[in-house]
Amino acid sequence: MDRRSFLKTSALGGTAAAATTLAAPAYAQGKRTLTMVTTWPRGLAGVWDSVERVVKNVSDITDGQITIDPKGAGELVGAFEVFDAVTSGQADMYHGADYYFTGQHPAFAYFTAVPFGMSAPEMMTWYYGADGKALHHNLGEVFGLKSYLAGQTGAQGGGWFRKEINTAEDFNGLKFRMPGLGGQALSKLGASVQVLPGGEIYQALSSGALDGTEWIGPWSDEKLGLQEVCDHYYPAGFHEPGAALSVATNLELFEGLTPAQQRAIEVSCADAHQHNYSLFVASNGPALQRLKSGGTQIHEFSGEIWDAFGKASAEVLQGFTDDDLFKEIHESAQKSMRESGEWLALSEGKYATERNRVLAAMDN
């Protein structure tokens, strides 16, 4: 039984609830510093920008009453240890990609990205306009967390490879880095999928421990130096069509903050979410041109490969629907995606196609 169900149904929960209605909440007084652990090395392009945005926002909004001290991966705990550090109270909050924590619960993937899932506008629509945020809170509270989206990379690339990928069979035996449920789908095609933090990718490629990798997009990938070790890049991928980042605060600590301080964290995260998206989109186009000029070969996966991705992804997602919370989140996200996606395809999608066609003709 999860934390929320326990509090609702147990006699102890009823007593606690009654006491809560009688006693004024006790809020911590004075200035305080919160320790934020992250899944990113300090300064990593794009994702660390989101960390810094949240940190500055919270300090500015609270007029310095709340200061966040961010720690890069490995400075206090390892990249994949941040979840446990916050739930245990070793750290106060984390900034990371929630799909790193599918081992705790597979539904965390929905608050980063799932294969054949939502684009960035669709994610924002579900999260802020439907029940995505409430479901994020419900899932986080099971583990003693208060969670908010706090970054957005937009569509992520299909990956970097040492050789061109011509058929789905080319993934068989390929040592490839891909986290989340997308990695599980790729493993169904025979890939030897590895989950590495961003700070370890370059070395793994250089040493031959990996044959290929996905990271984020042209800008951040260029900063990581992936073009130095792989010649072939696929800009379109199936696994992260609109990848969000999250901040999760220890729930007991969060509930001890004043309502204004709690709101400061929420608003700071929402601002970082949209700001981060614009940063990635603005930076990826120029970076892609630089990669092309530097000799990177740009490719598209064939329709046959996309079909294989789709079949494998459907099998992975279906495998978790016997879990009630996963099923609730999955169905909510799918419903919102289909409703908003149809409109976006007919309006913005059609417009973008025709605009690009007309402008290309005018340029010629």
Cβ 155 vs Cβ 240: under 8 Å? yes
- Across the range 84-105, mean pLDDT stands at 98
Q: Is residue 327 part of a domain?
A: no
- Across the range 291-307, mean pLDDT stands at 98
Predicted confidence band of residue 25 (pLDDT cuts 50, 70, 90)? low
Q: What is the pLDDT of residues 32-46, one digit of tens each?
A: 999 999 999 999 999
Give pLDDT, residue 364: 80
Residue bearing the bigger pLDDT, 4 or 106: 106
Q: Is residue 119 part of a domain?
A: yes
Domain holding 63, by residue range, is 32-153+242-281
In degrees rounded to 5, what are phi and psi of residue 202? Answer: -60, -45
Cα 323 to chain center, whole Å?
21
Give pLDDT, residue 26: 63
- For the cut 90, the answer to whether the pLDDT of residue 222 exceeds it is yes
In percent, how much of the chain has pLDDT > 90? 91
- For the cut 80, the answer to whether the pLDDT of residue 301 exceeds it is yes
Q: Is residue 301 part of a domain?
A: no
Predicted confidence band of residue 23 (pLDDT cuts 50, 70, 90)? low
Give pLDDT, residue 30: 76
Which pTM was predicted?
0.90
Query: DSSP secondary structure string, 65-120?
Result: SEEEEEE-TTTSS-GGGHHHHHHTTSSSEEEE-GGGGTTT-GGGGGGT--TT---H
The CATH number given to whatever domain includes residue 76 is 3.40.190.170
Q: Is residue 250 part of a domain?
A: yes
- For the cut 80, the answer to whether the pLDDT of residue 22 exceeds it is no
Q: What is the pLDDT of residues 227-262, one digit of tens each?
A: 999 999 999 999 999 999 999 999 999 999 999 999
- For the cut 50, the answer to whether the pLDDT of residue 15 exceeds it is no
Q: Is residue 97 part of a domain?
A: yes
Residue 211: which of 162, 167, 178 has the closest Cα?
162
Cα 12 to chain center, whole Å?
36
Flag the least confident range among 10-24, 66-80, 162-176, 263-277. Answer: 10-24
Rounded Cα distance, 354 and 364, in Å = 15
- Across the range 49-67, mean pLDDT stands at 98
3-state SS, residue 124: helix
Give pLDDT, residue 27: 67
- For the cut 60, the answer to whether the pLDDT of residue 10 exceeds it is no
Residue with structure tokens 């030897």?
192
Q: Is residue 266 part of a domain?
A: yes
- For the cut 80, the answer to whether the pLDDT of residue 18 exceeds it is no
Rounded Cα distance, 93 and 253, in Å = 9
Residue 270: which of 132, 175, 172 has the closest Cα?
132
* Mean pLDDT rounded to a whole number for the chain: 93
Predicted confidence band of residue 156 (pLDDT cuts 50, 70, 90)? very high
Q: What is the pLDDT of residues 131-141, one digit of tens each?
A: 999 999 999 99
Flag the least confident range among 18-27, 60-69, 78-87, 94-103. Answer: 18-27
Predicted confidence band of residue 269 (pLDDT cuts 50, 70, 90)? very high
In percent, how much of the chain has pLDDT > 70? 92
Q: Is residue 269 part of a domain?
A: yes
Q: Is residue 344 part of a domain?
A: no
Predicted confidence band of residue 28 (pLDDT cuts 50, 70, 90)? low
State the total domains in the chain: 1
